[in-house]
Structure 1
Amino acid sequence: MLAIRLRGDPYALRLAGIAGLFADKPLTRLPGSAREFLGLAGFRGTVVPVYDLRALLGHGRTEAPRWLVVAAGAIVALAFDGFDGYLKLPPERIAPSAAGDACFHVHELARPADGALRPLVNLGSVLMAIRQRVHQDPSPASTGVTP
């Protein structure tokens, strides 16, 4: 797992859902874009839409996020504030989140050895929300993606 931070709060992402991790990638912003859409970035010769993971999880935006992950199996990148490192956790350290916890895209909680709970972001759920957004308003300026 990747241990990340959103607005200073600890979160985690499963490595299986990630094709790459990047820092300080330049973004090309598009005018009139949706709040969660940050712009376009180039990754290994491919232009990819970049979305703000904070906004997708219902948090407000602060400064520009430094880190990006490219989702495995999807041509999309997600931006976040901080990278704390890698976590290797046994299955018993991951538990379902309570029904009222955090947000729609968090279904599990990871508890590393330091004891700090990290909501585990379900990347499949996040990507589905992005796809739905694209189909609701498919204009490239709104989503960064041409369906």
Structure 2
Amino acid sequence: MMGQLNMAATLMIGGKQQYLTFMLGGETYAMRIAGIKEIIPYGGVTAIPCVPDSIRGVINLRGAVVPVIDLGARFGHGALSQVRRSCIVIIEVTDGETGQDIGVMVDAVNAVVEIDDDDVEPRPAFGASVRVEFIQGMGKVNGKFVVILDVGAVLSMDELALLTEMTELAA
């Protein structure tokens, strides 16, 4: 699962979308693979002072400075502990015309799954372990619900501006 993802696999296949499932604090989450560029083992993160707790720091990804977000801290559950299967999922986030690569730290990557559009329920109004606005929907995978994240909401425009500024300072 590590390394480059096949971007041709991001196409919608007959009413199904492909999602990357991953573990975070003992729970399974998913995100559409359309914006995912690659998955790398956790490591080589350089801490940056005076940034929010959810920002672990930056990594050097083939000469580019990429900020790394700790999703556990972003969701208010505290910083993730680095474990053997910890990974950084590199996502391209766009803000209008500009794109920014951002690393997202997760406990472990599970698999790429296809979820039929009919198997995606609207986000719950309450009771989720993350803020409701971070949830795109609830997907049924093997008879269980998986929280499908709205990456654009998780990485808000304010945070993107901070990340861009931090990346420029680190470069």
Which category of TM-score, normalised to the shorter sequence, fits these structures? 0.7 to 0.9
The gaps in structure 2 that reach 5 residues or longer are 1-18, 93-98
Looking at structure 2, the residues matched to 10 and 145 of structure 1 have their Cα atoms a distance apart, in angstroms, of 30
SS of corresponding position for 1:54: helix
Compute the displacement of 1:33 (Å): 2.8
Aligned residues: 140
Q: From the two aligned structures, give the one with the greater strand fraction.
A: 2
Q: Does 1:77 align with 2:99?
A: no
Which residue type is aligned with residue 4 of structure 1? F
TM, length-normalised to structure 1: 0.83
What is the distance in 2 between the residues matched to 1:122 and 1:134? 15
Q: CA separation in 2, counterparts of 1:30 and 1:86?
A: 32
Q: Give the 5 Å matches for 1:89-108.
A: 89-102=115-128, 103=131, 104-108=133-137
* Structure 1 unmatched ranges of 5 or more: none
Deviation at 1:110, TM superposition (A): 1.1
TM score, norm. by length of structure 2: 0.72
Matches within 5 A, 1:50-89: 50-64=68-82, 66-72=86-92, 73-89=99-115
**RMSD over aligned Cα, in angstroms?**
2.3
The answer (yes or no) to whether the contact 1:134–1:145 under 8 Å persists in 2 is: no
In structure 2, what is the Cα distance between the partners aligned to 1:97 and 1:139? 27
Q: 2:54 corresponds to which residue?
A: 36
Deviation at 1:22, TM superposition (A): 1.2
Q: Which has the higher contact order (CA 8 A, sep 6+)?
A: 1
1:139 shift after superposition: 9.4
2:41 alignment partner in structure 1: 23
- Taking the aligned partners of 2:159 and 2:65, their CA distance within structure 1 comes to 19
Q: Which amino acid aligns with 1:67?
A: C
